[in-house]
Amino acid sequence: MKRSHIYKGLAVSVVPALLAACGSGSAASSTSNVSSASTPKVPLVVYSAQGYDSAMTTAFQKATGIPTTLVDDSTGPLLTRVQAEASNPKWGVLWVDGDEAFAALDQQNYLLKNWEPSVNWTSAARSVLPKDGSYIPTGLTMAGTLVYSTSTVTTPPTSWTDLLSPTWKGAIGMNDPAVSGPTFPFVAGMMNYLGGVTQGEDFYTQLKANGLQVFQTNGDTLHALGTGQIKLALIQSSAGIGASFKDPTIKTAFLAPSTLLPGVIGIDGKVSAAEIAEAKQFVNFVLSPAGQKVQLSGDPTGDSLYWPVVQGVNPESAVPNLASIHYQVVDPYKWGPQENAINGWFTSNIVS
């Protein structure tokens, strides 16, 4: 979950020359924090929309000595950047929420295939592993959870159809799927649940007729909830749970079915062998005990409120038992290739 275009350079600032070097796999000298007498390491470039990414890349560089540059942005702009760099990729690792985008990138042969870290996956994590080993889940949340304040809502909706009631006219807000990574999976999940694209378009059209308001990201939608502009927010579960830390009246409800939302890492299959090897090291670090400690603490009121994908790692206490939630797993290879078309329709018919 990201709210703005922020570029963070570790060891040095992000500059065009460095990014070009990272894309070509050339060695770094002054960017490395290891001794100049040692073999120079290729800079690893991480494109990420995760709230704990700065803490993670900092910890990874400290642990490995690999110079690591973080480009931190919202999911939509990052995916646009990846597509624009198709012939000259400047990223080694892409880390955002939602596996639909990765399935689409996989089908376009962007991603390294047939590699999977050696970890003990949870059963929920195994449900989102791609068969061709083209991307790796790193954490699980839910898309489109219902967030509200008990100070203004005493009887919240209990089903998706309840949202279409005149009771909630003008009172519902959600994110823009063209910008917010957790939101296209929510839109696709509703279409999957309702039986197809046409049925989903009808649902969102009815929501708009009932006064649906669309904001850019989780933070914007939560702000509208806090100021009373809306009474119900449909956002990522981690954002809703995190909001309750600041305002105890904020509650998060999981309408059935909720849509499982994996945080996912993909490795660019077109960069140098050296950067690919370092990207694998990054994935292994993220899923290691040290990496999971960073992931669970790096964004304590946001993305750190997830269900771990590695057995033996426990979520934060505020995160409910996953077994208590009725959720669905959607096929990213069905919905990922439709993301641009569906987002285009949403922009033209719901946002406008």
pLDDT of residue 20: 34
Q: Each residue of 266-276: pLDDT tens digit?
A: 999 999 999 99
**pLDDT given at position 23:** 36
Cα of 277 vs its chain's centroid, Å: 23
Q: What is the pLDDT of residue 1?
A: 52
**pLDDT < 50 stretches in the chain:** 2-37
pTM score: 0.88
- Contacts of residue 271, defined as CB under 8 A and 6 or more positions apart, other chains included, come to 23, 25, 89, 91, 92, 279
Q: What pLDDT was estimated at residue 11?
A: 39
Exposed, middle or buried, 188 (CB in 10 Å: 0-12/13-18/19+)?
buried
CA 133 to chain centre: 19
Architecture in CATH of 142-259+326-351: 3-Layer(aba) Sandwich (3.40)
Distance CA(108)–CA(100), nearest Å, equals 13
The helix/strand/coil state of 111 is: strand
Q: For residue 38, what pLDDT is reported?
A: 52
The answer to whether the CB of 337 falls within 8 A of the CB of 350 is no
**E strand spans, 236-336:** 250-253, 258-267, 327-328
Domain spans in the chain, listed from the N-terminal domain onward: 6-139+263-318, 142-259+326-351
Q: Are 254 and 327 in contact (CB under 8 A)?
A: yes
Strand-pair category, 258-267 with 136-143: antiparallel
Q: Return d(Cα 23, Cα 3) in angstroms, integer.
A: 26
- Please state which architecture CATH assigns to domain 6-139+263-318: 3-Layer(aba) Sandwich (3.40)
CATH topology of 6-139+263-318 equal to that of 142-259+326-351?
A: yes
pLDDT of residue 13: 31
